Structure 1
């Protein structure tokens, strides 16, 4: 196992079946300071990840054989890893499907390398901060530890057992945030996820939902770990 400190480059695997695009993106991300390996499909990824686990993976959806959605679902269930979905598919239903399968961030191609690099660094920092040193005196808890959605996601429970009944919009909003495991979810992805819950996409709806959740949680004696990340989106992290 490699020793990791702040100076160790993030290990990033790029799973993309377009040979030219994979080579170009790997070169650009390598120039940005990451340890990058480009892979053509899911079997190649699984083999590389088993030998040397990566901290962040950038996935295309339309891979030959097992697609990116299935791969994201497997990774999300298996451990701590940052998952970026990068696809030419920009439809709302594609974004929602990717987030529900475990992606932290959904980006539509063509992806700007600076934006992708910033996203990778954010996710890599989150993954590393969640890892517990072997000689630490106490175990660390994941972001939002103890908070959960129950009864079909219609009830929010805090670590002390207090509960809060949610509306349809509140339920969808929190479900997307909590599935990101402490990551920042962009306003666009939140709005996309809420479109099926209620009407037109009005960006102000997010602030209204967040404000109402904070007010209701305070009234219920709960300290809701809901944060606005300026210029990025929202985060649910204790």
Structure 2
């Protein structure tokens, strides 16, 4: 990863409101980022098909395809870090965005300087997590996580559909197999944020993940709950 303050960092900014998009793009360019603007998801998809970006800033509420759907596409097709921009304040909307694979969530109105700091934090986190030679796959409990394509192959050879957030959560647990990972650490590692007092997003995501990967989701044996601690992957993991 390049220096996150350099103009080599390319940002895809998607917002249908010119009064927000254009001043924000100008500010980010003054901060030495390279910024491409899109007024809707269709335009953003065309840009993403022809260029590679380091991070995407997506408005949630847009005419036509909304930001949540676009986030799902970008994280699945390009493994692109995404920060959601929204006027919504409901916790449910924020959790949905994060669980779809978004890396952060900023509520309008926001400070452009705060957004800049969040962009740099997301990029730094990505740089820290990128190993020099990432394995192609992680194998455990007759499951295969294909890291390069972000696919999970089941016990009978079938593909198990996971959201970007679910894949990231399972990968974090697999990388720390046999160790207890706290809810706070899971949020920090998968969503780059700390938990609120009543935040149940990790528990909800684990519950959905168990239904997809456990042999018996009613009696989970793979993803274990550690009372007062967090979660642990109870499997031996090998890589290839």
CA shift for structure 1 position 121: 1.0
Query: Which residue of 1 is the match for residue 133 of structure 2?
Result: 139
Count of aligned pairs between the two proteins: 188
Query: Which residue of 1 is the match for residue 103 of structure 2?
Result: 104
Asked if residue 121 in structure 1 is aligned to residue 120 in structure 2, the reply is: yes
CA shift for structure 1 position 157: 5.8
Query: Which residue of 2 is the match for residue 19 of structure 1?
Result: 18
> Residue 192 of structure 2 is aligned with which of 174, 179, 184?
184
Query: 1:157-196, aligned counterparts within 5 Å?
Result: 158=174, 162=178, 173=183, 177=187, 182-188=190-196, 191=199, 193=201
Q: What are structure 2's unaligned runs of at least 5 residues?
A: 146-153, 155-165, 206-224
Secondary structure at 2:57's aligned position in 1?
Answer: strand
| Rounded Cα–Cα distance in structure 1 between residues aligned with 2:199 and 2:15 | 27
| Rounded Cα–Cα distance in structure 2 between residues aligned with 1:25 and 1:43 | 20
CA shift for structure 1 position 5: 4.0
| Rounded Cα–Cα distance in structure 2 between residues aligned with 1:210 and 1:31 | 47
Change (3 A) 1:49 1:196: closer
Is contact 1:13-1:56 (8 Å) kept?
yes
CA RMSD of aligned residues (A): 4.3
CA shift for structure 1 position 194: 6.6
| Rounded Cα–Cα distance in structure 2 between residues aligned with 1:161 and 1:196 | 20
Query: Which residue of 2 is the match for residue 95 of structure 1?
Result: 94
Q: What are structure 1's unaligned runs of at least 5 residues?
A: 133-137, 198-208, 223-238
Is contact 1:89-1:108 (8 Å) kept?
yes
Query: Which residue of 2 is the match for residue 45 of structure 1?
Result: 44
Query: 1:204-219, aligned counterparts within 5 Å?
Result: 212-213=228-229
Is contact 1:100-1:176 (8 Å) kept?
no
Asked if residue 73 in structure 1 is aligned to residue 67 in structure 2, the reply is: no
Is contact 2:13-2:35 (8 Å) kept?
yes
| Rounded Cα–Cα distance in structure 2 between residues aligned with 1:31 and 1:190 | 38
CA deviation vs aligned residue, 1:70-113 (integer Å, no higher than 9, x gap) = 01111121232211001000011111111111111111100111
Secondary structure at 1:69's aligned position in 2?
Answer: helix
Is contact 2:58-2:83 (8 Å) kept?
yes
Secondary structure at 1:212's aligned position in 2?
Answer: coil
| Rounded Cα–Cα distance in structure 2 between residues aligned with 1:195 and 1:90 | 21
Secondary structure at 2:75's aligned position in 1?
Answer: helix
Query: Which residue of 1 is the match for residue 54 of structure 2?
Result: 55
| Rounded Cα–Cα distance in structure 2 between residues aligned with 1:193 and 1:160 | 20
CA deviation vs aligned residue, 1:43-85 (integer Å, no higher than 9, x gap) = 1111111111111111111111110010111112123221100
Secondary structure at 2:193's aligned position in 1?
Answer: strand
